[in-house]
């Protein structure tokens, strides 16, 4: 069935993955479809956020009998999803976490190539968690305003440039086991009780991968540093969009958002648990802040 030549263009379909951290209400509000990533506890396999919730993941992690690993969706997984969602005249924009941190975006590209009858655009956000979420929100808002995929892509690049991501962890062993830090940094950090502040590089040969952005003596001190960095970006009392992410305990993330509400014109603010599939790499004691100065571009 083909679409009549004079038929109005359909709103693009928006897809992301389970590495995107946003409040559940936003996924529902904008009809965002999520490709699940997998968590493996030995022979046990779970789709993050589908077969295992945030609370169930940390309860299972606390058993300590096996350290979990993660797995990206397969090409057939994406082919099935795209076929299910695809419709004549309805393009798909598939927005995914950094190629430097996951193979998910390349799997999505391979799946799109197998479906030439569908109009699929695959976008690498160059980041993850709430920073990926900001790009998803910009796309969703732009589609709601009537923008096309080609009009949205420059907005995603603009959002990536404006958005900053900072996070730290209580226990470095999760980053170490996941291959995100080397043994020397792990041993020194554990010995000195240093909490590394990590970000994702935006440009150059390390773009889309983790790099150091400082250090703190505690998660609470890291939260203070996050807010200082946000102030540098937005200016005192300036407009700010922010998402605070956490592992198993929301206390510090909630406090960060409340402080941002007092100190800035907070256009958008939320504290959300990081997805279970990301929790594999940061553990229960984690705190992050994703922020961008100014209002939404659309």
Q: What is the largest CA-CA distance in the chain?
A: 68
Residue with tokens 């945030």: 54
Please give the backbone phi and psi of residue 296, each rounded to the nearest 5 degrees, phi first: -65, 145
Q: Sketch the domain layout of the chain as residue ranges.
A: 13-37+72-161, 163-293
- Predicted confidence (pLDDT) at residue 177 exceeds the cutoff of 90: no
- Identify each DSSP E strand in the chain by its residue range: 13-17, 33-35, 38-41, 44-47, 69-71, 92-96, 120-124, 164-169, 195-200, 210-216, 239-246, 265-273, 286-293
* Residue 281 pLDDT level (bands cut at 50, 70, 90): confident
Spatial neighbors of 2 by CB under 8 A, at least 6 apart, are: 88
* Residue 1 pLDDT level (bands cut at 50, 70, 90): very low
The rounded mean pLDDT for the chain is: 91
- Predicted confidence (pLDDT) at residue 145 exceeds the cutoff of 70: yes
- Predicted confidence (pLDDT) at residue 189 exceeds the cutoff of 90: no
- Predicted confidence (pLDDT) at residue 3 exceeds the cutoff of 60: no
Q: Contact 268/22 with Cβ under 8 angstroms?
A: no
* The CATH number, out of the four listed (3.40.30.10, 2.60.40.680, 3.30.1180.10, 3.50.50.60), of the domain defined by the range 163-293: 3.30.1180.10
Lowest-pLDDT range, 81-85, 243-247, 276-280? 276-280
Would you state the structure tokens that stand for residue 52, as one six-digit string?
A: 């295992």
Q: Which CATH class is domain 13-37+72-161?
A: alpha beta
Within 10 angstroms of residue 191's Cβ, the number of other Cβ atoms is: 8
- Lay out the sheet containing 38-41: strands in order across: 44-47, 38-41, 69-71
- Predicted confidence (pLDDT) at residue 8 exceeds the cutoff of 80: no
pLDDT at 98: 97
Backbone Cα Rg of the chain: 19
Q: Average of pLDDT values for 254-266?
A: 98
- Identify each DSSP E strand in 59-145 by its residue range: 69-71, 92-96, 120-124
Q: Average of pLDDT values for 159-171?
A: 94
Lowest-pLDDT range, 112-121, 161-170, 173-182, 285-294? 173-182
- Residue 231 CA to residue 264 CA, distance in Å, equals 8
Q: Average of pLDDT values for 87-104?
A: 93
**Terminal-to-terminal C-alpha distance of the chain:** 34
- Residue 158 CA to residue 180 CA, distance in Å, equals 27
Q: Average of pLDDT values for 130-146?
A: 98
Task: Give the predicted TM-score (pTM) of the model.
Answer: 0.92
Among 147, 90, 143, CA closest to 117: 90
């Amino acid at each position: 069935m083909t679409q009549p030549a004079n038929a109005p263009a359909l709103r693009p379909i928006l897809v992301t993955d389970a590495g995107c951290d946003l409040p559940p209400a936003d996924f529902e509000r904008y009809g965002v479809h999520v490709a699940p990533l997998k968590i493996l506890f030995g022979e046990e396999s779970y789709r993050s956020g589908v077969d295992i919730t945030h609370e169930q993941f940390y309860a299972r992690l606390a058993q300590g009998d096996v350290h979990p690993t993660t797995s990206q969706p397969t090409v057939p997984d994406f082919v099935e999803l795209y076929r299910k969602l695809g419709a004549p005249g309805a393009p798909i924009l598939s927005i995914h976490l950094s190629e430097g941190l996951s193979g998910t975006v390349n799997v999505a590209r391979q799946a799109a190539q197998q479906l030439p009858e569908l109009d699929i655009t695959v976008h690498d956000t160059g980041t993850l968690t709430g920073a990926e979420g900001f790009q998803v929100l910009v796309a969703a808002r732009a589609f709601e305003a009537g923008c096309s995929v080609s009009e949205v892509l420059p907005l995603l690049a603009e959002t990536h440039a404006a958005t900053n991501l900072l996070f730290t962890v209580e226990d470095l062993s999760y980053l170490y086991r996941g291959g995100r830090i080397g043994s020397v940094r792990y041993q020194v950090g554990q010995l000195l009780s240093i909490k590394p502040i990590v970000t994702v590089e935006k440009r150059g040969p390390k773009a889309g991968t983790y790099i150091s952005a400082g250090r703190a003596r505690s998660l609470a001190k890291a939260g203070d540093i996050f807010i200082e960095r946000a102030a540098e970006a937005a200016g005192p009392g300036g407009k700010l969009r922010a998402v605070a992410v956490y592992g198993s305990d929301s206390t510090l993330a909630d406090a960060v958002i409340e402080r941002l509400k007092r100190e800035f014109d907070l256009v958008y603010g939320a504290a959300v648990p990081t997805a279970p599939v990301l929790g594999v790499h940061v553990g229960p004691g984690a705190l992050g802040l994703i922020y961008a100065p100014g209002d939404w571009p659309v």
